[in-house]
């Protein structure tokens, strides 16, 4: 069992999500690595931000769209934390597992895919898997970064696709990353039989985490890596 920090980690006392500080805390709590999100800013770098706008990250103080702001002009977050670009995150996470979610709600997907591929080349050393909710992004990543493992993300809004979509893309992906709400024992078993690594997100309940570990789910992505690691030990790899 491998545990990854969701956007590093989230909740009371955590640094801002998707920050280098959040990633470091996840590692300090024993996580094998982190899940993070990338989208392009106006100057062309893939920056580590989940939402299309800066509104939530800044508590409503800055509602600009991320794609409209240059890297140098991105605001500081709580505590003076900097919004990192993908290369900075990968540099910190050398030797760790990094699930890079390539966001689909962007103005142009092809430039983002190319920028992510360039960043992965420039900063080797992390054990990277790239993922997306958009099959076209996953297939594009297979073309531009064929040596990087890929995963299909499936959320609670599309439960019927939880098995069908990963199986349809079996030749292009290595893993199926399923929302905890659609992660059932039969689905995990079928995907596993197809040779796909099954990953659950976002799993914060220690009891549920233990149950998924016993089902054979390979990785768990959580806001609370320390708690989930404690619940799944000795099945977790640190």
Homologous superfamily (CATH) of 2-39+96-232 is Phosphatidylinositol (PI) phosphodiesterase (3.20.20.190)
- The residue extents of the domains of the chain are 2-39+96-232
Quote the pLDDT of residue 235.
58
The mean pLDDT value for 65-85 works out to: 98
| Beta strands 33-40; 2-6: pairing state | parallel
Quote the pLDDT of residue 234.
65
The answer to whether residues 223 and 202 touch, using CB atoms and an 8 Å cutoff, is yes
Quote the pLDDT of residue 31.
98
* Alpha carbons 210 and 231: distance in angstroms, whole number: 6
pLDDT band for position 166 (50/70/90)?
very high
Percent above pLDDT 90 for the chain? 97
The mean pLDDT value for 62-85 works out to: 98
Quote the pLDDT of residue 43.
98
Provide the mean pLDDT of the chain. 96
Model confidence over 85-105: pLDDT tens digits? Answer: 999 999 999 999 999 999 999
Q: Tell me which residue of 21, 37, 29, 36 sits closest to 3, measured CA to CA.
A: 29
Model confidence over 106-138: pLDDT tens digits? Answer: 999 999 999 999 999 999 999 999 999 999 999
pLDDT at residue 141 above 70?
A: yes
Quote the pLDDT of residue 238.
40
pLDDT at residue 236 above 80?
A: no
* 119 token code pair: 């960043």
pLDDT band for position 233 (50/70/90)?
confident
**pTM listed for this prediction:** 0.97
| Beta strands 33-40; 46-47: pairing state | antiparallel
Q: Is residue 114 helix, strand or coil?
A: helix
């Amino acid at each position: 069992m491998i545990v990854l920090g969701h956007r590093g980690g989230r909740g009371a006392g955590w640094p801002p999500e998707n920050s280098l500080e959040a990633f470091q805390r996840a590692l300090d709590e024993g996580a094998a690595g982190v899940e993070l999100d990338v989208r392009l800013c106006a100057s062309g770098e893939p920056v580590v931000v989940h939402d299309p706008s800066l509104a939530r990250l800044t508590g409503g103080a800055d509602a600009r769209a991320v794609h409209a702001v240059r890297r140098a002009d991105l605001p500081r977050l709580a505590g003076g934390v900097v919004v990192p670009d993908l290369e900075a995150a990968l540099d910190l996470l050398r030797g760790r597992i990094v699930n890079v979610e390539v966001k689909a709600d962007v103005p142009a997907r092809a430039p983002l895919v190319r920028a992510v591929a360039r960043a992965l080349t420039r900063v080797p050393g992390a054990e990277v898997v790239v993922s997306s909710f958009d099959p076209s992004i996953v297939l594009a990543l297979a073309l531009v970064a064929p040596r990087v493992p890929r995963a299909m993300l499936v959320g609670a809004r599309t439960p019927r696709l939880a098995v069908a979509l990963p199986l349809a893309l079996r030749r292009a992906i290595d893993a199926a990353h399923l929302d905890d709400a659609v992660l059932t024992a039969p689905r995990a078993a079928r995907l596993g039989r197809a040779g796909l690594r099954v990953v659950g997100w976002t799993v914060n309940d220690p009891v549920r985490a233990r149950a998924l570990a016993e089902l054979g789910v390979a990785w768990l992505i959580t806001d609370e890596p320390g708690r989930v690691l404690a619940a799944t030990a000795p099945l977790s790899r640190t």
